[in-house]
Amino acid sequence: MGPERVARVFVDVPLAHLDRPFDYAVPDEMADEVRAGCRVRVRFAGQLVDGFVIELADSSEHGGKLAPLAKVVSPEPVLTPQVVALARAVAERWGGTVTDVLRLAVPPRRAAAEKRPPAEPPPPPPPPDPAGFARYPTGPALLTAVAEGRPARAVWTALPGEDWPARLVELCQAALSGGRGALVVTPDGRDLDRLAAAAEARLPQGSVVVLRADAAPDARYRRFLDAVRGTARVVLGTRAAVFAPVADLGLVAVWDDGDDLHAEPRAPYAHARDVLVHRAHLASCAAVVAATARTAEAQLLVESGWAHELVADRATLRSAAPRVHALGADAELARDPAARTARLPSLAHRAARQALADGAPVLVQVPRAGYAPGLACDRCRAPARCAVCSGPLGVAAAPGPGGSRVPACRWCARPAATFDCPYCHRTKLRASVVGAARTAEELGRAFAGAAVRVSGRGSGVLPSVPAGPALVVATPGAEPVAEGGYGAALLLDSWALLGRADLRAGEETLRRWMNAAALVRPASAGGQVVVAADAAHPVVQALVRWDPGWLAARELADRRELGFPPATRMAALSGTAPALAEFLAAARLPADADLLGPVPEPSRPGQEGERERYLVRVPRAEGSALAHALAEVQGVRSAKKATEHVRVQLDPLDLV
């Protein structure tokens, strides 16, 4: 190789067998512009394609003549070596390609944003006041460790009523005070708004940027550049922000890691929590997994010794938590024998009336949105299906004045003015699931004179509600924050959550309940939570005792015994039967691999053809070998130009 410089480029080609950097010669006229991390265009397989320069070298292992770079799209180094290392680690762990990860990591370019001169970062703030974390025995020590740049790792279980945005911002302030950056990821825009407001009030101006999916492309790229240039040392964002190029990273944190919004729906389907755990390892920085509840994955981090618990003592917890009532107490059953089957038992009525009389709002959590999202035959209770596409029938919203409740298909939207049950030929329908809109209608009649607000899909998500008597009906995740806290919370339709055929049904139910109950005033201020579920159920017991760590440890022990994630690594392979047979025949799976299936893949709206699914399970120690074997097959099939795609997803959240 001659003295010319060599650029190693990851080309943007979605082919698994080409997932590696390629060497290109740097022409003399581009030598001053080309630098590691910049965008270029290169000629690849006869076409001009985009790419990132990840490294500059003086020689190449390629024996022939190198093709030159075609164009420097921008000399701005938007891809840092730390993000390249993270992208490689993510691709290896989830059996994907680096190119797919880079598409998630770097937003599309906007030339106008690059013309702005970089600003100087603000001076570091003083360390935060440890009083906010004083209710947790090891909280002040965590702040000190973050400020000193030590790689402290914690699984934080926030107290009910905790101002968690302020606590996370204090952790960011600790990192800034030590001259390092911080990255915090939340599941949705509503949580991100609360976090950003707390950061704006407490951190130096210009030190924080917010990366969110719904931002305008220009604004998102401008904020991304502030991070990559080192102007802003704190990045707050949703799922895609896990790859943000934070300079001198000293802290990564994730809020509410059990929320399924943290799971990336695009290849390689990585989870934000796990990516941040990897990033903390690569950067040797502090990491905090924070939530009101606790997942089995977070419990595994604790039991493995990778992280320590950050929890309050029981006395502090009792003073902060509301009083939780569940069905099943002998005295309550004697008072209301129908309490076990009633949708709104008398206990819930009394709690709501008491809170309204005290001038406080009441939160009513309903698992489903809409009016009557599920319908069934009035006689045999068979689910009602569309006669055209077999989709489920439902009533989307409450009718207006003079309107009619005409059921419609939730897949193809065709109205079903008539119904004939294929099993008993009954023509009448009943609601099998009651949604938030109908619940609000029923509560408006039961509590005449009380204002009723609905928060959720379709009606709009309310960020907050004022103090004062009102009924707030919300779906899980859409509960608005009440000024001064709710006087009571009613958790209805527990069977819709606990009865799901899902590995995470119990864990997810407790997460949703605790997130709602945490918005209620403490018991000392009259706060009450009524859960319409049997008090003997383990999930209900965890809520009554406010002990999510106990349930997480129980869940993890059960999954170890049964061989389910996170105690094992599991991959879901889905495709047509011939494609799956070809895939598995070529796969060199680990010796301990357990192949489960095939089973029909759950159909989705718009899906064509019948597809099957296999599950491949291996011990956790063999997870890397499994990912490598599956990526290898994808590369071989890509090189052979296989016509049928096999979807490979490691550690899927949904195992139904």
CATH assignment at residue 293 = 3.40.50.300
**Tokens at residue 614, please?**
């296999």
539: CATH: 3.40.50
Q: pLDDT digit string (tens) for 173-215?
A: 999 999 999 999 999 999 999 999 999 999 999 999 999 988 8
**Tokens at residue 62, please?**
């390629």
Alpha-carbon gap, residue 195 to 386, rounded angstroms: 44
Task: Indicate if 507 and 474 belong to the same structural domain.
Answer: yes
Classify each residue of 547-557 as buried b or exposed e, where b means 16 or more C-beta atoms within 10 Å of its C-beta: bbbebbbbbbe
Task: Indicate if 515 and 574 belong to the same structural domain.
Answer: no
The residues that bridge with 324 in the sheet, in sequence order, are 529
Task: Indicate if 308 and 345 belong to the same structural domain.
Answer: no
Task: Indicate if 588 and 462 belong to the same structural domain.
Answer: no
Annotated binding site: 377, 380, 386, 389, 409, 412, 421, 424
Task: Indicate if 442 and 506 belong to the same structural domain.
Answer: yes
Task: Indicate if 213 and 289 belong to the same structural domain.
Answer: yes
Whole-number pLDDT of residue 547: 96
The residues that bridge with 268 in the sheet, in sequence order, are none
Task: Indicate if 358 and 268 belong to the same structural domain.
Answer: no
Alpha-carbon gap, residue 369 to 437, rounded angstroms: 7
pTM (predicted TM-score): 0.88
The secondary structure element, H or E, covering residue 332 is helix 330-335
Task: Report residues of the chain scoring pLDDT below 50.
Answer: 1-3, 339, 341, 399-403
Alpha-carbon gap, residue 270 to 563, rounded angstroms: 21
* DSSP tag of 263: B
The answer to whether 55 touches 23, Cβ cutoff 8 Å, is: no
Task: Indicate if 334 and 310 belong to the same structural domain.
Answer: no
Last residue of a domain, one of 299, 316, 333: 316
Q: Which domain holds residue 576?
A: 568-650
Alpha-carbon gap, residue 431 to 366, rounded angstroms: 15
Task: Indicate if 148 and 289 belong to the same structural domain.
Answer: yes
Alpha carbon distances (Å) from 618 to 13, 16, 360, 625: 31, 23, 52, 9
- Is the bond preceding 598 in cis, omega lying within 30 degrees of 0? yes
Alpha-carbon gap, residue 276 to 297, rounded angstroms: 13
Alpha-carbon gap, residue 132 to 136, rounded angstroms: 9
Q: Which is nearest to 181 in space by CA: 132, 81, 253, 116?
A: 253
- In a 3-state reduction of DSSP, which class is residue 48? strand
3-state secondary structure 461-473: CCCEECCCCEEEE
Alpha-carbon gap, residue 141 to 600, rounded angstroms: 51
Whole-number pLDDT of residue 118: 86
Number of domains making up the chain: 4
Q: Which is nearest to 308 in space by CA: 316, 298, 317?
A: 298
Alpha-carbon gap, residue 184 to 212, rounded angstroms: 12
Last residue of a domain, one of 316, 339, 359: 316
Task: Indicate if 154 and 279 belong to the same structural domain.
Answer: yes
Strand 47-57 and strand 451-455: pairing?
Answer: unpaired
Q: Determine, yes or no, domain membership for 258.
A: yes
Residues in contact with 331: Cβ distance below 8 Å, sequence separation at least 6, in sequence order: none
Annotated binding site for Zn(2+): 377, 380, 386, 389, 409, 412, 421, 424
Whole-number pLDDT of residue 432: 61
Alpha-carbon gap, residue 422 to 379, rounded angstroms: 12
Alpha-carbon gap, residue 152 to 466, rounded angstroms: 39
Alpha carbon distances (Å) from 462 to 315, 454, 597: 33, 8, 43
- In a 3-state reduction of DSSP, which class is residue 393? strand
Q: Where do the DSSP E strands lie in 186-285?
A: 208-211, 234-237, 249-255
Alpha-carbon gap, residue 448 to 83, rounded angstroms: 57
Q: Determine, yes or no, domain membership for 418.
A: no
CA angle 36–42–43, rounded 5-degree value: 155
Alpha-carbon gap, residue 344 to 187, rounded angstroms: 31
Alpha-carbon gap, residue 416 to 406, rounded angstroms: 7
Alpha-carbon gap, residue 374 to 366, rounded angstroms: 14
Alpha-carbon gap, residue 105 to 100, rounded angstroms: 9
Task: Indicate if 246 and 337 belong to the same structural domain.
Answer: no
- In which residue are the tokens 């008993």 written? 424
Q: Determine, yes or no, domain membership for 88.
A: no
The answer to whether 262 touches 239, Cβ cutoff 8 Å, is: yes
Task: Indicate if 64 and 11 belong to the same structural domain.
Answer: yes
Q: Determine, yes or no, domain membership for 217.
A: yes
Classify each residue of 200-231 as buried b or exposed e, where b means 16 or more C-beta atoms within 10 Å of its C-beta: eebbeeebbbbbbeebeeeebbbbbbbbbbbb
CA angle 451–457–461, rounded 5-degree value: 55
